[in-house]
């Protein structure tokens, strides 16, 4: 396994639309996923999308850390992979959650997103998976899926007063 270099905001690949994975069972895809998992853990992230490691393909890895779990409907989740994902909102409810991004180090901001989504795609083995998500899981799925469409969380923020550096937010919290 290998640590991959993470593209930071300003790199054009982060604004590009990624291409579907043609052969989800190809060994190179599995290697990429394993390297992305190692890179995400090393950077202490909760999600990482292929464009963030300079690969313009529609796949990402994610997890729900214990401290981010929002209750029994949003349990902690070990790392998962989703290839060629399709994320669909369920209902109209929105929820704001504080997000960060490994491509935008140091910053965190409150981002309104769909409170509940349906997700479908293929897992690391290329087998179909689907389900419904709320809480942090819904947030991370939408955040990572946005990376595949060239959208960064800052572009989803509606109130930039709720953006700040993580050390200050750890001290003072996010303005409400």
Q: Which residues bind to Ni ion, rule: CB under 5 A?
A: 101
CB 165 within 8 A of CB 106: yes
Q: Please indicate whether residue 132 is annotated as part of the active site.
A: no
C-alpha span between 119 and 130 (Å, rounded) = 5
Report which DSSP code applies to 39.
Answer: H
Least Å from the CB of residue 127 to Ni ion: 25
Least Å from the CB of residue 65 to Ni ion: 15
**Smaller CB separation from Ni ion, 29 or 48:** 48
**Smaller CB separation from Ni ion, 26 or 165:** 165
CB 64 within 8 A of CB 140: yes
**Smaller CB separation from Ni ion, 110 or 176:** 110
Candidate list 66, 99, 144, 168, residue with the active-site label: 144
Least Å from the CB of residue 98 to Ni ion: 13
* 93: CB partners within 8 A, 6+ apart: 114, 115, 116
* Residues forming the active site: 144
């Amino acid at each position: 396994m290998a640590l991959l270099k993470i593209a930071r905001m300003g790199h054009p690949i982060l604004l590009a639309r990624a291409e579907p994975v043609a052969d989800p069972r190809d060994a190179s895809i599995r290697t990429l996923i394993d390297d992305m998992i190692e890179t995400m853990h090393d950077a202490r992230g909760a999600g990482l999308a292929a464009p963030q490691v300079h690969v313009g393909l529609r796949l990402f890895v994610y997890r729900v850390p214990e401290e981010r779990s929002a209750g029994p409907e949003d349990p902690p989740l070990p790392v998962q992979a989703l290839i060629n994902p399709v994320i669909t909102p369920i209902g109209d409810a929105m929820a704001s959650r504080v997000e960060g991004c490994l491509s935008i180090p140091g910053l965190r901001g409150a981002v309104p997103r769909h409170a509940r989504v349906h997700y479908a795609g293929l897992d690391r083995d290329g087998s179909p998976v689907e389900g419904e998500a709320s809480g942090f899981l819904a947030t991370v799925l939408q955040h990572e899926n946005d990376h595949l469409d060239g959208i960064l969380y800052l572009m989803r923020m509606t109130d930039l007063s709720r953006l700040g550096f993580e050390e200050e937010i750890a001290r003072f919290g996010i303005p409400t």
